[in-house]
Amino acid sequence: MTLRLRSLLFMPADAPRKIAKGSTLPADAIIADLEDAVAPSRKQEARSLLVESFQTLPEGEAIRCIRINPVNSLFWLEDLIETFLTPPRIYVIPKVESAAAVHVVSRRLTLLEGAADLPIGSVRLLAIVETALGVMNLREIAGADRRLVALALGAEDFAGDVGAQRTQEGWEIFYARGALVTAAAAFGLQAIDTVYTDLTDETGLAAECDAVRTMGFRGKLAIHPRQVEIINQAFTPSRSEVEAARRLIAVFATHQRAGRGVCVLDGKMVDMPMFRAAQEVLARAGHRQEETDHLLS
């Protein structure tokens, strides 16, 4: 079953009250952050607080994730070992620049799963690409491991790495966005867009969500609870979009069964790629593809 990752809300790993509050919000995933949100001197304490927080959270729909430190740091391995039995559903790996970074985490997870008598591969991974080298290696990263469920863009670090200035329009990260969404699609992963740093600009956030959704992104990282509803709404098809998709699917399927490869609907040509695009709309609305595939038979 594909995990739904429209909104992924970051919170400090050493802030139990924020984690508890985050679990009550409608975010699809909560990410307890052991990297940027925690000073080096507090890593150990943050791990302990995180474990306690996750173990005392009530069961909810939000997917529990943990962002570990980069694999070239001194902290990532202890992050895994000390938090594994909480357990998170997904580990988020920051600053991924190569397939090797994904491999090393996956191999350690296999050992931890085996020791805990858990199914191998049950813990998944999300890779954040934040550098020029990471963008250049997206093909290898996307195909690195079956644990991967999504790729995310870290635009602030990427812009700094290439010497660009962040702008409202986002042209300085347009290539990185396009490369990431293409690599994700090629390997069946979800593409998750970068954070929106202006917490007061809800209109700008909504506009950016709409723009990247049209590029193929399926969700967005959030850094404040007030961003969650805006992101969810943007990445959930509207009722009119769902009804239009259903109508297109029904008309196209009827023509297919009659032996005609294409048809015209509302003055526009409809073919198989458009049928699949309509299926994708329904999938984002929570429908399974099998519900419409049978119409072609």
Domains of the chain: which residue ranges?
7-234, 239-296
């985490």: which residue's tokens?
105
Mean pLDDT (the chain) is 91
Distance (Å, whole) CA 232 – CA 244: 20
* C-alpha angle 182-186-191 in degrees, rounded to nearest 5: 50
pLDDT above 70: percentage of residues in the chain: 96
Q: Is domain 7-234 given the CATH code 3.40.50.1220 in the classification?
A: no
Distance (Å, whole) CA 148 – CA 126: 6
**pLDDT tens digits, one per residue of 167-176:** 999 999 999 9
Distance (Å, whole) CA 8 – CA 31: 7
- pTM comes to 0.87
Nearby residues of 162 by Cβ (< 8 Å), 6 or more positions away: 132, 172
**pLDDT tens digits, one per residue of 68-82:** 999 999 999 999 999
Under 8 Å between Cβ of 165 and 126: no
**pLDDT tens digits, one per residue of 185-237:** 999 999 999 999 999 999 999 999 999 999 999 999 999 999 999 999 999 98
Which range has the top average pLDDT, 18-22, 55-59, 136-140? 136-140
